Amino acid sequence: MNSKQGARYIKTRMGSDLKNQILLRDGIITEESVTAKRKPSILDCLRCNLANAIENKYCSKCSYQLVPSAFDEIKAAEDLRIRAMEDKYQQEMKDMREQMNQILSIIQQNPVLAQVKPNVLLKRIGPSSVTA
């Protein structure tokens, strides 16, 4: 039983995962040593296939996110920008409604002004009184 055929068979046919499982079951190696060997030192970018260091959250070449936490950061930043745009839109709509209400109240006070174009009306009453 001094043949090396079994080792060759395990090495070439079964792969290292199965070999490690056999050695782990027999108590020759520990699970910590198996998991320590499996930790990669690089991450390949899915977009450009560049090998990046494990510490990188984004690809050094194309800025693609390499880890899920990087995607969450991007999503949170986009949500903040969208909320800021929505708030700005709401404020602008509120200001425009106030201006329109002021113009309508002036027109109701003097029906002749209904025939005047809005930009001429703004020149007559002054933009400061409408925006105030």
Counting the structural domains of the chain, the total is: 2
pLDDT for the residue 52: 86
Assigned token pair, 73: 């950061």
Q: 5 to each of 11, 13, 40, how far by Cα in Å?
A: 10, 11, 31
pLDDT for the residue 53: 85
Assigned token pair, 12: 């070439």
pLDDT for the residue 132: 44
Dist. CA 14–CA 7, nearest whole Å: 10
Both 1 and 59 in one domain: the answer is no
Instruction: Render pLDDT for 5-39 as a digit per residue (tens, 0 to 9).
Output: 656 665 566 667 777 788 788 887 777 776 665 56
pTM for the model:
0.45
Angle, in degrees to the nearest 10, between helices 15-25 and 31-38? 160
* Residue 61 domain boundaries: 40-131
pLDDT for the residue 39: 61
Both 100 and 80 in one domain: the answer is yes
